[in-house]
Amino acid sequence: MAIITLTTDFGWSDYFVGAMKGIIYQIAPKADVVDITHNIQPHNLLAGAIVLREIWKTFPPNTIHVGVIDPGVGSNRNIILARYANQFFLVPDNGIITLIHRIYSPEEVYMVTNTSLFCQPVSATFQGRDIFAPVAAHLAKGIKPYQVGPRTNLIKLIEIPQPYRNEQGQLMGQIIYIDNFGNLMTNISADHLNEFAKTASGLNVYLEDRLIGPIQATFSDVQANQPIAYVGSAGFVEIAVNQGRADKILGGKISTKVKISG
């Protein structure tokens, strides 16, 4: 029986996650269901894309990753089942798959249209329960991917902001994700940083115009309550406050500008 992971913006205060799990266990009682997170900021597709990119590679082949960050629920947007690197992603076709798609070419992609797999009637506002959960369960139980619906080559992707060099030669980026500790992940990867370092005399990081300092290895390289810049576990430059919340103390938020100066 396959593993099913769940990543949503549903939170834990309501019945939504429990209802999805109930449907899965009705259909595939031996499935292993793993909660990745249900605290994605509501409707934040980029945050969902980042989480999927970071977690899929830690699971064995044929894991079914369900990602429901779905501001277009009930509209004419498609739901897709895509296989990348021998793992399955059951997601709205709204761009949440973008960062996986950047790493690998899809091995197969299907539009999820087989209504015999759905819970009936299908709610226009809770398709996580009525479509995503039962389809994932049927896949875990052994149906073939092509049974969910017709094959497609069309996948919607979202624009991800890219770092660039400004007229002064500084490397410019921005905050794209804030974790539970208030740490600020930028869109500046370790590769961007290493390329910039080839022509820079130093690597001082700024959050907008506030100097954070040079790139460090880990939090304890600075005193408690002091800001620090480092390359995080996801491979991107991050800004944090040792034993504090950078989002609160430094005022960082999604799209706040970051620059690295030599």
**Confidence band of 197 (pLDDT split at 50, 70, 90):** confident
Q: Where in the chain is the domain with CATH 3.40.50.10790?
A: 3-148
User: 202-257, pLDDT tens digit by residue?
Assistant: 789 999 999 999 999 999 999 999 999 999 999 999 999 999 999 999 999 999 99
Choose among 50, 63, 58: nearest CA to 187. Answer: 50
Cα 99 vs. chain centroid, distance in angstroms? 8
The model carries a pTM of: 0.92
Instruction: Specify the amino acid at residue 29.
Output: P
pLDDT at 198: 84
Average pLDDT over residues 164-182: 95
The hierarchical CATH code for the domain 3-148 is 3.40.50.10790
Q: Which of 135, 131, 151 is nearest to 64 (CA)?
A: 135
Task: Please list the residue range(s) of the chain that carry CATH number 2.40.30.90.
Answer: 164-261
Q: What is the second-level CATH architecture of the domain 164-261?
A: Beta Barrel (2.40)
